[in-house]
Amino acid sequence: MPVEEIVLTDFEVEIQARIDAERARLRAEAGLARMREFKKPVERSFTGPERDYVTILFGGLTWKHEEMIKAVFHGSGYRCENIPTPVVADFQAGKEFGNNGQCNPTYFTVGNLVRYLQSLEEQGQTKQQIIDNYVFFTAGSCGPCRFGMYEAEYRFALQNAGFEGFRVLLFQQTDGIKAASGEPGLKFSVDFGMGMLNALNLGDVINELVYQIRPFEVTKGETDRVIRESVKTLTDTLRDRRRWHILEAAPGWAKPFLEGHAKFTGISCTLGKVAQNVYGKEYVDALHACRDSINSIQVDRLRVKPVIKITGEFWAQTTEGDGNFNMFAFLEREGAQVLVEPIATWIAYMMYVAKEGAKARAYAEAPYRDPKWYEVKKHLANELKLLKKTGGLSAGSAMWGYFYHRTIKHLGDTAHHLIPQKELSRLAHPFYHQLARGGEGYMEVGKNVYYTVNHLCHMVLALKPFGCMPSTQSDGVQSRVVNKFKDMIFLPIETSGEGEVNAHSRVQMALAEAKAKARAEFDGVLVQTGKSLEDLREYVDAHPKLKHALYKVPHREGVAGTAAQFAWHVSDLMDRDRKYRRPARVSLPASQVA
């Protein structure tokens, strides 16, 4: 080896040694000399034998979703309880036991869990009994926002509250609908997985029906009563339905063959279980019973109410308590109709982003880079690798949409269908890239544009935690969106454990504009149809089916309000009804009609 290279190597070694020595000196001065690399704490396993006495806790969704999920857990042989809806006291407990600088959902959910465990202790259980007999099941993520710190925050707060060692099982957001707990005590069987799919879909559709019907109910409180009875019917079915197995269903002559062909039996049993969970008579009959019960609610759709579309961060736009300033109940008290967002949209978004991300990385991950045009095998190898990644996601997305829309169909077919993620991405792309990760990504912008340009609401209200990084990015973009769409009413509200009065005041100001927009729309319909409000009500009274809660009103392009849509439809019925002949009256705006 040349002398020059030996001298150069020695020189580099000396420089590196001096750098290391100086780094060690500075670390010692800062008190970091003994700092060790962080390692994730080893969690005690939740094992199969513990299922008989360990209770799984969960929460954070609407009560409809939670009752459905609890029924599936119970039906699969697990002990399960949902934690009550978080309140401000939970937020305060989260700040007391957790780190500073966390976002609103963290404080509410962490404090909610700690206070629930404390209530168990007040009832006579020891801390060790609680640690041994309960586990918490929740969503997790790798980020990029503070959502990625939820798991660590749960453990830190539990430790500070005296429940060190309490087990937390995670459902990983970034792994789609695959659980990441890896715990043998929580098995994801076909029955359990299909039950959860049904539970989420039912929770979403029932939740939308509540907000679709309740603002127009004739008898106050009837919607809540009927929905609770319907939810009980559905949860009883999810919990108590018979678990199908091919060896029990097959005729006697086929059983010897099935017992001798385990692989064929396993595949057939899986397909049969999927069909039984979705198409089984017991399940479908329960859906139809609930549909008929809900349809019996009497409504008055000629009440003019602005439609307020809810978007924003997942937790803040889903919870129904102090975590979002009880915003849904407030909007209804103020005379609005709330259009909630289903969890199904979030799951469809995760699958779409995973697929588009795989496409974007296809070149970098291809087995062969820049093959010649005639190298067919290399081209096929590249395409096959991409297809393996995207094919399953495409099929999963199609099946997810199919099962969701099928649930809508069996429950009256009046809930909104899922918006294609490709369409949301297209609308958002001029303002927000589809692969920009975090929170709801491009969906906050995409939904704002979609519901505005398609005249599906009068106002978009975006709910997000104070300081939420992904939603802050979206809000920064929304200013440009609002400048482009001049008729858009968009209001972002940051939620916290305080400031409810101020938030409600801001919403009231924007809501006044939305009410005026809805009223002008309805008055315009009366003028265009030549019918008075009295004429419409008289015809509706003569045709009782128009008062049924699940009567499907055809959508008319360019009209957002339920009252305006219904007025157009009733007017069309009157024009086509040969038995109904009445001289036209001078139409007055609804605001002038007593």
**For 70-94, what is each residue's pLDDT tens digit?**
999 999 889 999 999 999 999 999 9
Q: How far apart are CA 115 and CA 121, in angstroms?
A: 10
Give the Å distances, CA to CA, from 122 to 115, 117, 130, 155, 444.
Answer: 10, 9, 11, 21, 42
Other beta carbons within 10 angstroms of residue 35's beta carbon come to 9
pLDDT in tens, 192-224: 889 999 999 999 999 999 999 999 999 999 999
**What type of residue sits at position 227?**
I
Q: What value does the mean pLDDT take over residues 19-45?
A: 74
Q: How far apart are CA 366 and CA 383, in angstroms?
A: 8
Q: What value does the mean pLDDT take over residues 221-234?
A: 96
Q: How far apart are CA 431 and CA 101, in angstroms?
A: 29
Question: What pLDDT shows up at residue 594?
Answer: 40
**Rounded (5°) CA angle 203-205-208:** 105
Q: How far apart are CA 425 and CA 330, in angstroms?
A: 31
Q: How far apart are CA 139 and CA 154, in angstroms?
A: 12
Half-sphere exposure of 322 (CA within 13 A, CB side): 18
Question: What pLDDT shows up at residue 149?
Answer: 66
pLDDT in tens, 1-16: 444 444 556 777 888 8
Give the Å distances, CA to CA, from 193 to 76, 241, 365, 507, 536.
Answer: 10, 15, 32, 39, 48
Q: Which carries the bigger pLDDT value, residue 522 or residue 589?
A: 522
pLDDT in tens, 472-525: 788 888 888 988 988 899 999 998 888 899 999 999 999 999 999 999 999 999
> For the sheet containing 134-140, what is the strand order?
79-82, 55-58, 134-140, 167-172
Question: What pLDDT shows up at residue 263?
Answer: 87
Element at 74 (helix H, strand E): helix 63-75
- Mean pLDDT is lowest, of 333-337, 375-379, 401-405, for 375-379
Residue 160, classified by CB atoms within 10 Å of its CB into exposed (0-12), middle (13-18) or buried (19+), is middle
Q: Which carries the bigger pLDDT value, residue 292 or residue 276?
A: 292
Please say whether the beta carbons of 590 and 526 come within 8 A: yes
Please say whether the beta carbons of 78 and 53 come within 8 A: no
**What residues form DSSP beta bridges with 170?**
138
Q: Which residues of 402-436 are buried (b: 16+ CB within 10 A; e: fewer)?
A: ebbbebbebbbebbeebbebeebbebbeebbebeb
Give the Å distances, CA to CA, from 261 to 248, 268, 273, 452.
Answer: 16, 11, 18, 57
Question: What pLDDT shows up at residue 187?
Answer: 76
Q: What value does the mean pLDDT take over residues 311-317?
A: 88
Question: By C-alpha distance, which of 351, 364, 357 is closest to 435?
Answer: 357
Percent of the chain at pLDDT exceeding 70: 90
- Mean pLDDT is lowest, of 108-122, 229-243, 256-270, 292-306, for 256-270
- Mean pLDDT is lowest, of 466-475, 539-548, 565-574, for 466-475
Q: Which carries the bigger pLDDT value, residue 39 or residue 47?
A: 47
- CA 530 and chain centroid, separation: 42
Question: By C-alpha distance, which of 475, 499, 577 is closest to 324?
Answer: 499
Phi/psi of residue 40, nearest 5 degrees: -60, 130
